[in-house]
Structure 1
Amino acid sequence: MKTQNYRLLLLLMLGAVLIVGQLYVTLPMTSALASNWQVTTGQAAWAGSAFGFAYAAGFLLLGSVSDRHGRRTVLLFSLVATAGASVVVAIAPSFNMLLGARALQGLAAAGFPPAALALVAETLPPGRRPLGISLLSFAFLAAAPAAQLLAAQFAGLGLHVIMLALAAGYVLLAVGLYRLLPTGMAREKKGAIAANPVPMWRQTQLMGAWMAACTVLFAFVSLHAGAQITGFSENQLQTLRLAGLPPLLICLVAARLVSRVGPVPTARAGLVLSAIALMVGLLDGFGWVAAASVLLSAGIALAVPGLIGTVASRATADFRARAMSLYTFFLFVGASIASPVAQALAPHGWSALLWAPIAALLGAAAVVNGWSSRSPSVPQPSEHRIS
């Protein structure tokens, strides 16, 4: 790859960590937020869910924007808008205003991931796209444990300081991308979107990947939120977060696996491994739960590049960003509903809490390849490489 491509990928990875990390940054601060705003911990947990649901909804609202107006424009606008919303979060005078600002923040941040994924799929040389997608996938996934670890370390500074620091980071990233990306990069020609003869909602070869995406972060957040809800100590929670970080590097191996066997088998292997990981977590003892965290991260590190590769290779250029938007919508819907589901299942015991994501993952593995359509205009790809 050219030096410019390496720089672009590095900036997009950093942006992915900072953007997606917003979903998780308030998780270890739930008790502190409850105390500060005089609300229950259940109410305080909505500081994360408000961002998550707006973030997911934003993918549907903003999915076609970068297809129409260019990846560069959307990436820059998303970063600057997220920076502004982060400042609003920092100065929110009430808890209700905080939740509203977090929702605004999630909506602004939603423009970044689809445009970034589409940009990588379109900019890198064909032979390097699996690696680029895997590196970006690693950044999106690493945001979960990294954001929780850092937020736990700096929680004493207060949410307002953390948000102001993140706002500065978004502005600096926007400046970097502004200087790196030429005007009009990856912009679709006028009228290209209307050229696709089959509506996106009828792309049955993609539906399995979209459905499977809902289970990935649902499983991850269920384990970590469940551990917090059921009374694991802070040291144990930090151990689970740290243990889950190194296996995410398997994303790099997944690039070669996607190239050799195809994205669908890679995604299916990751989903099954994730289900097995949670089954390990059902065994007695914290050691087994720590092992589950390691295996779960490894499974997700295989599943996500496989799912992204499936969507990127099967979606045509005229609606690739929108297809990625639906993928990320379902991915973060799963993450957003995980904590409330964990809260509801926790009174029934640790086993009940984990069996829900286990069942979801196994179902996802069964349907990830989608299904054939009777319409002759719908492509039926049999790709083994992302090109």
Structure 2
Amino acid sequence: MINPVKSIAPRYKLMTLILFFCSLIVVSSVYLTLPLLSVFEDEFQISSSKAAWAGSAFSFAFAGGGLLFGGLSDRYGRKKMMISGLCLLTATTLVIGTVDEFQWLIVLRVLQGLAASMFPPSVLAYAIEMFPINKRVTILGFISTAFLMASIVGQIYSSIVVLELSWNYVFYILGPVYFVSFILITISIPNDKTQKPVGSFFTPFRHIGGIFKKKGLPLCYIISATLFISLVGFFSTLGSYLSSSLFGLSHQEILWVRAVGIIGMFISPFDGRLVAKIGVKNVLWCGLILASIGLGLVGVWENLAFLILASIVFTAGIAMALPALISLIGTLAGELRASALSFHMFMLFIGASLAPIISIYLIDTVSHMFTFVMLAGLLLLSTVVPFYIRLEKKENTISQINQHKQTNVQNH
């Protein structure tokens, strides 16, 4: 007789791999143009501040679109939104490579941002609803790792392509990759159970107000913003810091220093085991403390090897905190989890949009070292937030349920 647990396990592994890959390449589109700004300045004969809109236009559309499409996935289904987003992302990405006027690049980056924003809130809600409790934090860990790795992978990818070919091929190559992702999601991911639509088309958007009535949930969004203010602020400051006369690294060398941070991000898939042992709030708190320590250490000693080690500690802390935060939001939100997670993504990328502004201001007015310390201080302040979030008794016992289920699986 076939053990049902063993027969189902490979399917979840395949689903995890596909969702990880698709999450990585979709969110990478946020960071594609960061290494291309100087290229756009020369190509379109524009100022650096204007060239920066190639990234900002996408980010604002991505953040706002997450609110729109997160609510719609409640009505039309998670898989349908993911498929629709990848289909539109394929088309807009290919067209971007053909433009020869900067204003059209901006317009298409906005459309690309809207298309990409259909994916993250839908994939998070899909993972929470379609994976069993004992696998839920693990899949969220993989998706969160993909979101974090995208901040580095997107920049490295576009840098390599533009050095070997031209900026157009960054989009020509990525378009077919999005199409492959569209096929993978379509044929390999089971359909979610779409509930019968209730109310009007605008009903899902009213849910956004409802999430602020959930006890403890609004406090989670404070952490959402501070996580990406610190993450993107760190990378923004790091580039300027390493290219200064103190280190004098080249653009390519800076990218490889950033890439080392990926090592710390591999802790994220193990969040599930940590949550089962010490609870989701404790994992979140430990992640915030670890990230604060790592980021604070970056601003202590002007030594490259020490800086690299501290950056690994920092990214490990972020990678520990983010999936725990997503799991906590999903638990607190209940039936409003899609709207709650879409607002989480909105706050993440609002934080990502504010981070360069904050970092540049602090660098110009004080110093790089002070900027690192201030960003660490912001994270450290957010560590008090979990103490004000209360979970219901039955939610506090999820770790015990996980342990019992894992024991049962081993016994069978």
- With normalisation by structure 2, the TM-score equals 0.85
CA distance in structure 2 between the aligned counterparts of 1:148 and 1:2, rounded to whole angstroms: 34
CA deviations 1:245-265 (Å, max 9, x no partner) are 111110122221112222222
In structure 2, the CA distance between the partners of 1:310 and 1:381, relative to structure 1 (3 Å rule), is farther
Report if aligned partners of 1:78, 1:112 keep a CA contact under 8 Å in 2: yes
The residue that corresponds to 1:10 in the other structure is 17
Once the 2 structures are TM-superposed, how far is the Cα of residue 384 of structure 1 from its aligned partner? 5.0
Once the 2 structures are TM-superposed, how far is the Cα of residue 46 of structure 1 from its aligned partner? 2.4
In structure 2, the CA distance between the partners of 1:364 and 1:380, relative to structure 1 (3 Å rule), is farther
Report if aligned partners of 1:66, 1:115 keep a CA contact under 8 Å in 2: yes
Match of 1:206 among 212, 217, 221: 217
Once the 2 structures are TM-superposed, how far is the Cα of residue 350 of structure 1 from its aligned partner? 0.5
CA deviations 1:207-234 (Å, max 9, x no partner) are 1221101111221221221122345222
CA distance in structure 2 between the aligned counterparts of 1:380 and 1:84, rounded to whole angstroms: 48
Report if aligned partners of 2:331, 2:395 keep a CA contact under 8 Å in 1: no
Report if aligned partners of 1:59, 1:111 keep a CA contact under 8 Å in 2: yes
Tell me if 1:31 matches 2:38: yes
Tell me if 1:288 matches 2:302: no
Higher mean displacement: 187-196 or 94-103:
187-196
Secondary structure at the counterpart of residue 315 of structure 1: helix
CA distance in structure 1 between the aligned counterparts of 2:134 and 2:77, rounded to whole angstroms: 24
CA deviations 1:302-327 (Å, max 9, x no partner) are 111110110122221x3211111011
The residue that corresponds to 2:379 in the other structure is 361
In structure 2, the CA distance between the partners of 1:152 and 1:199, relative to structure 1 (3 Å rule), is same
In structure 2, the CA distance between the partners of 1:265 and 1:199, relative to structure 1 (3 Å rule), is same
Match of 2:356 among 324, 327, 339: 339
Higher mean displacement: 321-330 or 229-238:
229-238
Report if aligned partners of 1:280, 1:291 keep a CA contact under 8 Å in 2: no
CA distance in structure 2 between the aligned counterparts of 1:80 and 1:24, rounded to whole angstroms: 20
Match of 2:55 among 48, 51, 62: 48
The residue that corresponds to 2:368 in the other structure is 350
Secondary structure at the counterpart of residue 216 of structure 2: helix
In structure 2, the CA distance between the partners of 1:191 and 1:273, relative to structure 1 (3 Å rule), is same
CA distance in structure 2 between the aligned counterparts of 1:117 and 1:209, rounded to whole angstroms: 16
The residue that corresponds to 1:80 in the other structure is 87
Tell me if 1:383 matches 2:396: yes
In structure 2, the CA distance between the partners of 1:103 and 1:188, relative to structure 1 (3 Å rule), is same
CA deviations 1:314-368 (Å, max 9, x no partner) are 221x321111101111111111221232222221310332234223212222124
Once the 2 structures are TM-superposed, how far is the Cα of residue 266 of structure 1 from its aligned partner? 1.1
Q: Runs of 5+ in structure 2 lacking a partner? A: 1-7, 244-248, 403-412
In structure 2, the CA distance between the partners of 1:241 and 1:338, relative to structure 1 (3 Å rule), is same
CA distance in structure 1 between the aligned counterparts of 2:181 and 2:162, rounded to whole angstroms: 24
The residue that corresponds to 1:125 in the other structure is 132
CA deviations 1:99-148 (Å, max 9, x no partner) are 22112111111110111111111111221112111111111111111222
Which amino acid counterpart does residue 371 of structure 2 have in structure 1? L
Count of paired positions: 379
The residue that corresponds to 1:159 in the other structure is 167
Which amino acid counterpart does residue 310 of structure 1 have in structure 2? L
Report if aligned partners of 2:32, 2:158 keep a CA contact under 8 Å in 1: yes
Match of 1:220 among 231, 235, 245: 231
Report if aligned partners of 1:204, 1:370 keep a CA contact under 8 Å in 2: no
CA distance in structure 2 between the aligned counterparts of 1:59 and 1:370, rounded to whole angstroms: 27
Match of 1:60 among 62, 67, 70: 67
Equivalent residues in 2 for 1:92-131 (5 A)?
92-131=99-138
Query: Percent identity between the aligned chains?
Result: 26
Which amino acid counterpart does residue 314 of structure 1 have in structure 2? L
Report if aligned partners of 1:263, 1:309 keep a CA contact under 8 Å in 2: yes
Report if aligned partners of 2:162, 2:169 keep a CA contact under 8 Å in 1: no
Secondary structure at the counterpart of residue 204 of structure 1: coil
CA distance in structure 2 between the aligned counterparts of 1:293 and 1:150, rounded to whole angstroms: 21
CA distance in structure 1 between the aligned counterparts of 2:75 and 2:43, rounded to whole angstroms: 43
The residue that corresponds to 1:375 in the other structure is none
Secondary structure at the counterpart of residue 63 of structure 1: helix
CA distance in structure 2 between the aligned counterparts of 1:2 and 1:275, rounded to whole angstroms: 36
Report if aligned partners of 2:23, 2:143 keep a CA contact under 8 Å in 1: yes
CA distance in structure 2 between the aligned counterparts of 1:312 and 1:363, rounded to whole angstroms: 23
In structure 2, the CA distance between the partners of 1:356 and 1:83, relative to structure 1 (3 Å rule), is farther
Once the 2 structures are TM-superposed, how far is the Cα of residue 235 of structure 1 from its aligned partner? 4.8
- With normalisation by structure 1, the TM-score equals 0.90
Once the 2 structures are TM-superposed, how far is the Cα of residue 236 of structure 1 from its aligned partner? 4.0
CA distance in structure 1 between the aligned counterparts of 2:46 and 2:107, rounded to whole angstroms: 16
Which amino acid counterpart does residue 20 of structure 1 have in structure 2? V
In structure 2, the CA distance between the partners of 1:199 and 1:235, relative to structure 1 (3 Å rule), is closer
In structure 2, the CA distance between the partners of 1:236 and 1:93, relative to structure 1 (3 Å rule), is closer
- Between structure 1 and structure 2, the one with the greater Rg is 2
CA distance in structure 2 between the aligned counterparts of 1:384 and 1:256, rounded to whole angstroms: 14
Report if aligned partners of 2:62, 2:117 keep a CA contact under 8 Å in 1: yes
Which amino acid counterpart does residue 312 of structure 1 have in structure 2? G
Tell me if 1:304 matches 2:322: yes
CA distance in structure 1 between the aligned counterparts of 2:314 and 2:51, rounded to whole angstroms: 27
CA distance in structure 2 between the aligned counterparts of 1:21 and 1:155, rounded to whole angstroms: 16
In structure 2, the CA distance between the partners of 1:381 and 1:360, relative to structure 1 (3 Å rule), is farther
Q: Runs of 5+ in structure 1 lacking a partner? A: 373-377
